[in-house]
Amino acid sequence: MRSWNAPALPNLPGHGGLPRIFDTPTGELRPLVVGDLAQLYVCGITPYDATHLGHAATYLAYDTLNRVLRDAGFRVDYVQNVTDIDDPLLERANETGVDWRDLAASQIDLYRGDMEALRIIPPEHYIGVVEAMDEIAAACQKLLDDGYAYWVDSSTDSADVGPDLYFDLAVAEELTTWYLGQESRYERDTMLRLSAERGGDPERPGKRDPLDPLLWRSEREGEPAWDSPVGRGRPGWHIECSVIGDHYLTAPITLTGGGLDLVFPHHGMSAAHSAALTGVDWSHSYSHAGLVALDGEKMSKSRGNLVFVSRLIADGADPRAIRLALLAHHYRSNWEWTRHDLEAAQRRLTAWTDWAADATDGDLGLRDTLRAHLANDLDAPAALAAVDAAIEESRSRGLGPGHADIAAIDALLGVDVAAERPL
Ligand code: ZN
């Protein structure tokens, strides 16, 4: 699937260090494991309500990591999926009377525009579930052949429906190095609660373990379905990311990322599928971005309290100020958006652009300072404060910034302070 246009990325002299990133499974700050290639997988959107500030904060966190890894001298191979067929998308399409394909296409377009405006480096592979359908179905068949999957009866008195295919977690624990709780360290009670809240079906009769996730759902009347070796139907959520990830990357990859609400079941189940399909652990590291709240509640579709990037831009916000507003919060913190965030970021942007207008051939050394802060678990708030301090210091000494400082802010923080206001 087409992604979006890449921002200009200045090459800085020298290299930053290997970043240390907080790893959810171990609960520790750890240096990333990178071979010749840094392989990143970040779970993408379900395109029915793009792009609220919670999404933007997550993709910006991993954009910062992408920039840090490139600056450290690594080639980066970044994969992001689009869950362009799923229950919430179909529900929204039914509610609004819009064809699910049209809804997905329009929301993906909106997302691309938002990512481009925020100067997010596009992934190397931007893959929709629908375009990966044959591979996902083949993986379901393989899991069935290898004893990792079983059928659950779906027929009722009123409808003749084929069985649904489920993944057997106990078999995965027996035959692979993966185990339940490996990514999340959650207790079973927590897993059961989160499974019910986040698209699972722990109450469904006929499953061997209430936590066993759906692999393939048989066709239901009125729902889209695809022909496949495991019957006409459509895939469950977690197998999609496993198959797309395994196709474009080679496990174990450097880092799997996403919002905090993906820790379980999504990342746990995807890792289980991947281990069963490939025989190796999926990822060296799992990273999770905090959630953004509004008016004291998590920003989410079901609560209807979303602030959209496209709306802020349409209302006149400079996308650079939106980027600065998000970077001002550490990516792992859970925080609450208020209009003051954007006002403060706009003031900061004005101070930075005024300062950049006096650029010289000098060098205040911001490059090394920003590299050090960002290599320390992407500490963007400290990096922003360092730029503020450099401005104050240089002003007091009657110095302007150097072009080298401006390039470092652009390359590492993704904010082009020398540009005219975009759009
Ligand atoms: Zn995913």
- At 69, give phi and psi (nearest 5°): -65, -40
Render pLDDT for 391-406 as a digit per residue (tens, 0 to 9): 999 888 888 888 999 9
Q: How far is the CA of 267 from the centre of ligand 1 (A)?
A: 7
For residue 423, the model assigns a pLDDT of 44
Q: How far is the CA of 266 from the centre of ligand 1 (A)?
A: 6
Name the residues around ion ligand 1, CB cutoff 5 A: 43, 241
Q: What is the distance between the alpha carbons of residues 376 and 354, in angstroms, rounded to a whole number?
A: 29
Q: How far is the CA of 244 from the centre of ligand 1 (A)?
A: 9
For residue 339, the model assigns a pLDDT of 86
9 within 8 A of 70, measured Cβ to Cβ: yes
386 within 8 A of 376, measured Cβ to Cβ: no
Q: How far is the CA of 160 from the centre of ligand 1 (A)?
A: 31
CB atoms within 10 A of CB 13: 9
CB contact set of 339 (below 8 Å; sequence gap of 6+): none
CB contact set of 244 (below 8 Å; sequence gap of 6+): 79, 81, 125, 127, 129, 132, 135
Write down all domains in the chain, each with its CATH number in brackets. 25-293 (3.40.50.620), 340-413 (1.20.120.640)
364 within 8 A of 390, measured Cβ to Cβ: yes
Q: How far is the CA of 316 from the centre of ligand 1 (A)?
A: 33
3-state SS record for 137-200 = HHHHHHHHHCCCEEEECCCCCCCCCCCEEEECHHHHHHHCCCCCCCCCCCCHHHHHHHHHHCCC
Q: How far is the CA of 43 from the centre of ligand 1 (A)?
A: 4
Q: What is the distance between the alpha carbons of residues 195 and 203, in angstroms, rounded to a whole number?
A: 10
Residues of the chain with pLDDT under 50: 423
Q: How far is the CA of 11 from the centre of ligand 1 (A)?
A: 31
Q: How far is the CA of 159 from the centre of ligand 1 (A)?
A: 32
pTM to 2 decimal places: 0.96
CB contact set of 421 (below 8 Å; sequence gap of 6+): 318, 320
Q: How far is the CA of 102 from the centre of ligand 1 (A)?
A: 22
Q: How far is the CA of 125 from the centre of ligand 1 (A)?
A: 14
Q: How far is the CA of 242 from the centre of ligand 1 (A)?
A: 8
